[in-house]
A and B are shown apart, each in its own frame.
Chain A
Amino acid sequence: KQEVTQIPAALSVPEGENLVLNCSFTDSAIYNLQWFRQDPGKGLTSLLLIQSSQREQTSGRLNASLDKSSGRSTLYIAASQPGDSATYLCAVYGGATNKLIFGTGTLLAVQP
């Protein structure tokens, strides 16, 4: 059974810092990994989608890496801003079931 874990559960940083969020998964037979952002009272916004054949994806200040063999992904946020404050979720698709399996999320607070 695929399990997805995110560390840390919560993170508070001052504005301008670079930060890394971690995601690990138990079944490496995935088709892709996706990072989402969730704002309070809102749905999920897709940030980056990494196919299993890729090692990283970049969008603006965000960079996500994938090491399928070790079952790990990181989301790097450069020069954090208060507007980055949200919950960040990673999810994997594939493995034993063709479902999107989510981690529990990291709650990020960027202090001005």
Chain B
Amino acid sequence: EAGVAQSPRYKIIEKRQSVAFWCNPISGHATLYWYQQILGQGPKLLIQFQNNGVVDDSQLPKDRFSAERLKGVDSTLKIQPAKLEDSAVYLCASSLGVGQGRYNEQFFGPGTRLTVL
């Protein structure tokens, strides 16, 4: 079974530029997550989709970050304009579903390492 795919693996941009990341979840997984992992910290959830609807985007900086999951499969995360503090690894994860009071195991992709200069 293929895992979670992400691209690009690395990206270097100047501040104020825009950037987009792509994620393809495991086939059949209804729930998709984007995490931000700053160097030396654990991953922090940015946004969670179930199918093509947003479940939680409470920690997404909506003035500059946006995400979509058209057709409930692939997802893109965009930053516009980027700031120096956006330098981080962006991880995508997917799970079969989400159930209240029940954990659906999340499977993680390799991540995209973003450097903002």
Residues of A within 8 A of B (CB): 4, 31-32, 36, 41-46, 49, 89, 91, 93-94, 98-100, 102-105
Cβ-closest chain B residue relative to A90: B42
Chain A residues, Cβ within 8 Å of B41: 104-105
Let me know if B103 and A42 touch, CB within 8 A: no
Among residues of B, the one whose C-beta sits closest to the C-beta of A44 is B108
Instruction: Considering the complex, give the chain B residue whose CB is closest to the CB of A6.
Output: B42
Chain B residues, Cβ within 8 Å of A43: 4, 91, 108-111
Could you list which residues of chain B lie within 8 angstroms of chain A, going by C-beta atoms?
A: 4, 9, 40-45, 48, 56, 91, 93, 98, 100-103, 105-111, 113
Which residue of chain A has the shortest Cβ distance to B107 in the bound complex? A46
Min CB–CB distance B89 → chain A (angstroms)? 9
Contact B111 A31 (CB under 8 A): no
User: Are B91's CB and A31's CB within 8 A?
Assistant: no
Whether A44 contacts B91 by the Cβ 8 Å rule is yes
Residue in contact with B105 in the complex, picked from A42, A45, A46, A98, CB distance below 8 Å: A46
Contacts of B40 in A (CB 8 A): 104-105
Q: A42-B110, A42-B111 are in contact. Are A31 and B42 (CB under 8 A)?
A: no
A46, B43: Cα distance in complex, Å: 14
Cβ–Cβ < 8 Å partners of B106 in chain A? 100
Cα distance, A98 to B103, chains bound together (Å)? 8
Which residues of A have CB within 8 Å of B102? 31
Bound Cα distance from A54 to B105, whole angstroms: 16
19 residue pairs bridging A and B, Cβ less than 8 Å apart: A36-B108, A41-B9, A41-B111, A42-B110, A43-B4, A43-B91, A43-B108, A43-B111, A44-B91, A46-B107, A49-B105, A89-B42, A89-B43, A94-B101, A98-B98, A98-B101, A102-B43, A104-B40, A105-B40
